[in-house]
């Protein structure tokens, strides 16, 4: 039964555990970054300098680097061809900041080399922006008014959100692998410093795994609720 004495058991079974993991993952990435933000690199490179160095090594001299406000708000903007590094990253010489910067440059390299998963993710982004907002309400309204078309329309739309989360995983993992490999082979970080950068990027990767788990949990919840409504 989806409900037990007025309690939505589908939320408790499918979503709540994933949300707890997601909260832990977010706490873990912040605590890991804070741990290694005090560990500098032997060359004294800033994250901005490392990002520029790796971009130039890959022939991406046209990709700019900008500073943005916030903490760990770092990202690559493919439309503007800009790597944006946050206040906590840009001028820092820590192995944590350098790992984050190299990861974002990894996304720029993915775009430049037409990495397949990122092409898939970019293709479905416009649809996901709509589906992530409308899918769940549409399905719930369909369940309430017992309209199968609305229910399955919402479920199909939300499935695109799940697909986006799943495709994001190889994109993020690959960007981190590229970052660590370059930091190692270009002798930007030494062995001990590299271990710190790896831990930061591993913690960040877990947040994407947790997000995917939350999305899958919500999809399973919708399927169970829809099945329950069909039985009624």
C-alpha to C-alpha distance for 21 and 37, rounded to whole angstroms: 24
Q: How far is CA 182 from CA 65, 189, 205, in A?
A: 18, 9, 18
Q: Where are the alpha helices (DSSP H) in 80-190?
A: 95-112, 116-145, 148-185
C-alpha to C-alpha distance for 106 and 28, rounded to whole angstroms: 22
Tokens of 57: 């090594």
Q: How far is CA 56 from CA 49, 59, 95, 109, 112, in A?
A: 11, 5, 20, 11, 12
Beta-sheet pairing, 82-86 with 64-68: parallel
| 104, 172, 191, 193: the active-site residue | 104
Tokens of 75: 């990202």
**How is residue 41 annotated by DSSP?**
-
Q: Is 104 labeled as catalytic in the residue annotation?
A: yes
**How is residue 83 annotated by DSSP?**
E
**How is residue 68 annotated by DSSP?**
E
Q: Which active-site residues does the annotation give?
A: 104
């Amino acid at each position: 039964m989806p409900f037990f004495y007025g309690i939505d058991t589908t939320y408790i079974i499918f979503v709540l555990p994933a949300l707890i993991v997601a909260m832990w993952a977010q706490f873990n990435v912040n605590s890991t970054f804070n741990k290694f933000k005090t560990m500098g690199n032997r060359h004294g490179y800033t994250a901005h300098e490392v990002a520029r160095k790796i971009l130039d090594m890959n022939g991406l001299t046209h990709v700019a680097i900008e500073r943005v406000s916030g903490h760990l708000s770092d990202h690559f903007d493919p439309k503007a061809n800009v790597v944006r590094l946050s206040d906590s990253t840009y001028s820092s010489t820590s192995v944590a900041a350098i790992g984050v910067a190299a990861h974002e440059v990894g996304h720029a390299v993915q775009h430049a080399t037409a990495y397949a998963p990122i092409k898939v993710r970019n293709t479905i982004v416009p649809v996901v922006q709509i589906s992530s907002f409308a899918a769940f309400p549409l399905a719930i309204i369909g369940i309430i008014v017992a309209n199968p078309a609305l229910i399955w329309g919402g479920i199909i739309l939300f499935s695109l959100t799940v697909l986006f989360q799943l495709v994001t995983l190889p994109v993020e993992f690959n960007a981190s692998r590229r970052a660590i490999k370059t930091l190692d082979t270009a002798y930007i970080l030494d062995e001990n410093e590299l271990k710190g950068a790896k831990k930061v990027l591993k913690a960040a990767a877990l947040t994407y795994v947790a997000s995917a788990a939350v999305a899958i949990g919500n999809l399973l919840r919708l399927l169970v609720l829809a099945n329950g409504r069909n039985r009624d």
